[in-house]
Structure 1
Amino acid sequence: MAKSNERRTNIFPLALVTLTGLFLVNLLGFIDTQTGSAFGCGRDWPLCNGKIIPEVWNTHVAIEFIHRLVVLADLLLLLFLIAATYRRYRGRKDIRILMGISFLAFSGEGVLGAISVLTDNPPSVLALHMGMSLIAFTSLYLWTATLRQIETGKYQRFDLQDASSVKQLRKWTWGTLIYSFLVVYFGAYVTFTGAGGYFQGWPFPTESYSQAKTALLIDLTHRLMALILFVLILRLFLFTFRLRGKREDLRAVSLQTLILVVFQMLSGALLIITKLNLIAFLLHVSIATFMVGSLGLLGLKASSLQEKERMKEYNL
């Protein structure tokens, strides 16, 4: 007998609001960095120019202060979500793992944000900050997806004879996910070092080594890494295509991921054409965020751990 979900339906909306808040936190953080507003509150943290509420305002102060307010608001939402989820689903190991990763990554993101304010914003710290924000978003995205799946009861019965194929897919998916983090981290490093601003050509840079020096090597490495990521995601889609009719959930998510990685590459071209225009940069970062989240969702759906938890809870 399936357990009643009557008292559980109010957690998913809270998770969705928290996820939206985290996306805004990350988006404002990118705006903060790209507009040079990271020091809008000076070298003070958590205060802003020595005050809880700054007395002197300008664009940079407003961007940094609003960013900090949204971080605080979303932290409170996250704590409420952790308490509510743990009280009702603490028996599920998959949810406990996602909760732990999300909280640690969110905390790490805050610490790195403070470090970037208290130091000279080195590119390595800025890139690591972006990587941490991506881990926080992806884990919360998977946490939210799991809550939705539980509370709607939309489970698909799987054919056990496909278990070996799904196991192989799982390994490739988690490997691709880890690689995607490296690609995004290196892309952030390219941006924060200013290497990406040297070039005009796409998909190949038109500048020579004598013009761009080591920036050319950095940029070419990022483009090559992005191409390899596309090939890996295409392989995942072709793999799930063979499971069509049996695991439509896997095929649908892999198609979604493939579409996102194509748009990610096109947004990279837009970045080069517009000379790192802020809107193009935010579009590039946003697509990357959802692409990595989609990869994580594919891995989660292929996860034996989630399947065991599902069967345990619903006694299937």
Structure 2
Amino acid sequence: MQHNKYLKWLAVAATIGMLFILIGGALVTKTDSGLGCGRNWPDCNGSLIPQEITTAVLIEFSHRLVTGVVSFFIVALVVWTWLKLGHIKEVKFLGFNAVFFLVLQALIGAAQVLWGQGDFILALHFGISLISFTAVLLLALIVFEVDQKFDADKVFIDKKLKWNIIGVTIYSYLVVYTGALVRHTDASLVCPDWPLCRNNEPFSLPYNMYEWVQMGHRLAVLVIFIWIAIITWHVVKNYKEQRVIYWGWIIAFIIVILQIAAGMLVVLTKLNLIVALLHSLLISLLFGLFCYMILLVYRSNQNQK
């Protein structure tokens, strides 16, 4: 029991730590602090500990420091779960993804500092970190035996819902990428109005690439909102007896509404930092929830067998 208790604490620490990495990366981008330590990595402006502290140095160096510390938590969690829970098929797969994508996002970040990267490559950075976060989150849910608490061994998902869960999860990753592209191309405020780029010109097309990027992201968000609403309506109508499915999709619908509201406020508040970070946090939680639903699809397939 003592081992289980400490393992749970480690799972919580690793999951929260990954959230800090995600939000810290978003903070670096939104404050344009990526070169706070100059073209130096892993040192900062030529020294292991920065000698001159500016806002950009503090943000960039803190992000690197948090990533380094949390990496130890994640590796420890992966090794411990492999040893204690290796009989659960998903554990090794999730553990590999958690470490692999954590290292990959760190290498992309280092490459950006040392040599610079194009906007379309940089937009992948957040998405890669998101995969690592999701893998850690799912490991934590397994450690806390969430499946047993919600009777996942009795979950049955019909074919139509299965394909919608898989489809909306994959599509949500595209939405994440378009949102990251908005940030990295500095297109966040290129459209002065919301929901249209210019509300007084409802039928005009975007004038330039930046407006296309911004409006493409808004269109992608509209599609996912409608898709989630349809899935939620189907689940509420047909899955009242399966709590984990029923409440999971209600929560997903609430999160996507909050996500859209945060996106609107990002524009209306002219990139308020707290709102912008909340926007990143909400999409991270939504994607994590989608991936848990994918895990439940797998559970359903096993139950049918």
> Structures share a fold, TM > 0.5?
yes
Alpha-carbon distance in 1 for matches of 2:35, 2:17: 22
1:196 counterpart SS class? coil
Alpha-carbon shift at residue 6 of structure 1 (Å)? 7.0
**Structure 2 counterpart of 1:293, which letter?**
G
Alpha-carbon distance in 2 for matches of 1:189, 1:273: 19
Alpha-carbon shift at residue 291 of structure 1 (Å)? 1.0
Distance 1:176 1:216, change over 3 A: same
Alpha-carbon shift at residue 268 of structure 1 (Å)? 0.9
1:169 to 140, 161, 165: 161
| 1:143 pairs with 2:139 | yes
Alpha-carbon shift at residue 212 of structure 1 (Å)? 4.0
Could you tell me whether the CA contact under 8 Å between 1:40 and 1:60 is conserved in 2?
yes
| 1:154 pairs with 2:149 | yes
**Structure 2 counterpart of 1:70, which letter?**
V
| 1:242 pairs with 2:237 | yes
| 1:230 pairs with 2:222 | no
Moved more, 238-247 or 17-26: 238-247
| 1:67 pairs with 2:59 | no
- Alpha-carbon displacement from aligned partner over 1:184-205 (angstroms, at most 9, x marks no partner): 1011101211222111211111
Alpha-carbon distance in 1 for matches of 2:153, 2:30: 46
Alpha-carbon shift at residue 307 of structure 1 (Å)? 5.0
1:314 matched residue in structure 2: none
C-alpha RMSD of matched pairs (Å) = 2.4
Say how many residue pairs are matched.
Answer: 302
**Aligned sequence identity (%):** 29
Distance 1:55 1:155, change over 3 A: same
- Alpha-carbon displacement from aligned partner over 1:182-235 (angstroms, at most 9, x marks no partner): 111011101211222111211111176698423222222111111111111112
Distance 1:93 1:217, change over 3 A: same
2:188 counterpart SS class? helix
2:268 to 249, 270, 273: 273
1:200 matched residue in structure 2: 192
Distance 1:305 1:110, change over 3 A: farther
1:218 matched residue in structure 2: 213
| 1:83 pairs with 2:83 | no
TM-score (ref. length: structure 1): 0.88
Residues 1-316 of structure 1: matches in 2 within 5 Å?
Answer: 7-149=3-145, 153-156=148-151, 163=156, 165-206=157-198, 212-304=207-299
Could you tell me whether the CA contact under 8 Å between 1:16 and 1:144 is conserved in 2?
yes
Ranges in structure 1 where 5+ consecutive residues have no aligned partner: 312-316
Ranges in structure 2 where 5+ consecutive residues have no aligned partner: none
- Alpha-carbon displacement from aligned partner over 1:114-136 (angstroms, at most 9, x marks no partner): 01111234312321101111111
1:303 counterpart SS class? helix
Alpha-carbon shift at residue 298 of structure 1 (Å)? 2.0
Alpha-carbon shift at residue 7 of structure 1 (Å)? 4.6
Could you tell me whether the CA contact under 8 Å between 2:74 and 2:136 is conserved in 1?
no
